[in-house]
Amino acid sequence: MDRTFVIAKPDAVERGLSGEILARFERKGLKLVAAELRTIDAETASKHYEEHKDRPFFGELVAFITRGPALLAVLEGPEDTWKVVRTLMGSTNPRDAAPGTIRGDLGILLTENLVHGSDGPESAEREIGIFFPAL
Ligand code: IDP
Ligand code: MG
């Protein structure tokens, strides 16, 4: 089985959409391996988003992802689970995201795009290690 890491971001929890987001992954056929409502601290957020540390929006991104509880989860599927999750998430900017995707159906702002999913097998392993080191 193949695992990936997902966050229903603070905007999703604030809007009462964290269950809806997890339900979409479950309905697709992915299995929940771990889930926890947790307020991410700035140090962990910086590590998680390390690839973006030189981008102009990095400070805003860390402030956003740490502003309140987020629902962190590890999902499992038969193969390329990260890709299945990314497809269900939709494009980064919800304005461009296709209807039927989480961001396409539920979001409108780039800065409040509801969900994170690892972007490859190496990212999945790295991110699961950051947030669920016991797995
Ligand atoms: P992804 O979440 O679809 O993988 P990334 O390019 O990895 O997209 O960006 C990480 C997160 O950073 C996005 O989900 C979004 O919340 C935020 N972000 C990306 N680009 C911008 C921007 O130009 N301004 C503000 N926030 C951004
Ligand atoms: Mg990304």
CA of 57 to the centre of ligand 2 (A): 13
Report the alpha-carbon distance of residue 111 to residue 70 in Å, rounded.
15
pTM of structure: 0.98
**CA 69 to chain CA centroid, nearest Å:** 13
Neighbours of 57 (CB within 10 A): 12
Ligand 1 lined by 111 (C-beta under 6 Å):
yes
80-109 mean pLDDT? 98
Structure tokens at 125: 């392993």
- Give pLDDT, residue 18: 98
Residues with Cβ within 8 Å of residue 56, at least 6 apart in sequence: none
Could you name the CATH architecture of 2-131?
Answer: 2-Layer Sandwich (3.30)
| Amino acid found at 35 | A
Strand blocks (E) in 1-135: 2-8, 31-38, 70-77, 115-117
Which has the closest alpha carbon to 131: 49, 40, 21? 40
pLDDT digits (tens, 9 = 90+) for 38-74: 999 999 999 999 999 999 999 999 999 999 999 999 9
Residue type, 15: R
Pairing of strands 115-117, 70-77: unpaired
Q: Are 25 and 85 in contact (CB under 8 A)?
A: yes
> Is the distance from the beta carbon of residue 24 to the nearest atom of ligand 1 less than 6 Å?
no
Q: Among 85, 114, 116, 117, which one carries the catalytic annotation?
A: 116
Domain boundaries, the chain: 2-131
48 is catalytic: no
The mean predicted confidence, pLDDT, of the chain is: 98
Give the pLDDT confidence score for residue 69 in this predicted structure: 99
Pocket probe mutation, ligand 1, options 5, 7, 54, 113, max atoms within 8 Å of Cβ: 113
